[in-house]
Amino acid sequence: MWVDQYIIFMQWNRYFTKGIGFLFIFISLFTGSAHAQYKRNFVVAKDGSGDYTTIQAAIDASKSFPYERITIHIKNGVYKEKVRVPEWNPRISLVGESREKTIITYDDYFNRIDRGRNSTFFTSTLLVQGNEFHAENLTIKNSAGPVGQAIALTVDADKVMISNCRLLGNQDTVYLTGKGDRQYFENCYIEGTTDFIFGQATAVFQGCEIHSKDDSYITAASTAKGVSYGFVFKDCRLTAEKDVTQVYLGRPWRKFARTVFLKCWMGNHIRPEGWDNWSNPENEKTAYYAEYHNNGPGYKPEKRVAWAHQLTAKEARDYRINEIFGNWNPKSN
């Protein structure tokens, strides 16, 4: 009798367990499918023909921490809005219809923000905090004019690619930050007056035009101590307004600044000495500034400051993309 009861119990237990298993599988498939289904493409259009009329609304509607990239297609138009891509929205792509006619603009500047000495960092037209962000075919502009610090683009994220974009402003146009964060700019036009590319990120500029609008400084890197790469310009063109004749390649916002120009064309607006120590000779011991096989009337290696470097061919090989970015290939995602 005890044996019969045990057999009955085991049969009941097996069917019950199997039923629970089937139920678990069904629930898992259902919830997993629901979890995987989210909108991956949005259209933004000023005329109401898309999903949203503002870029921020499309970002806000995007799934947080998606497994797959979400692409926001932006039709031509002038979008006057401050845009933020937050940390919980990685893998966002903003793709404009055309570089010249898809324009994100705002006009905040230091004195308008009026939040004390750090007001600059609140002025961005576009603020990127989500990793693996892409932007292409866009104009990103701070339209405040020559009124002091006014950022067009802030990138505070890793694995960011900006392609075929115009970044327009005056002082502090582009702020690139995040210790060791990797950011890649390809075929972009970047303009400004003073320190218009600044920050501590590891950023590569490939085939970009860097346009000075005033006699001042192009870069102000603040590379962190121990980080091997700061700002790297490769095959870029350095141009200027007609009346601009006295422009430095860079000065150290922080003492371990690193900036290198390789195979770039430099107009005659570049000062012969090339680099400035920000009125502090001690920076000459810690900042790292270098060039390799540049050309154009602004390239005068024999007249550069004594504390800058002219790279050898062997040293220049350390500035290949895979050396700078390690395991991240900006073209792969």
- Known catalytic residues? 172, 195
Widest pairwise Cα distance in the chain: 106
Helix (H/G/I), strand (E/B), else coil: 223: coil
Distance between CA atoms of 227 and 257, rounded to whole angstroms? 10
In the numeric block, the tokens 């590319």 are attached to: 197
Residue 6 pairs in a beta bridge with: none
The first and second tokens of residue 309, run together, are: 């470097």
At 2, give phi and psi (nearest 5°).
-60, -40
Amino acid at 12: W
3-class SS letters over 244-283: CCCEEEECCCCCCCEEEEECCEECCCECCCCECCCCCHHH
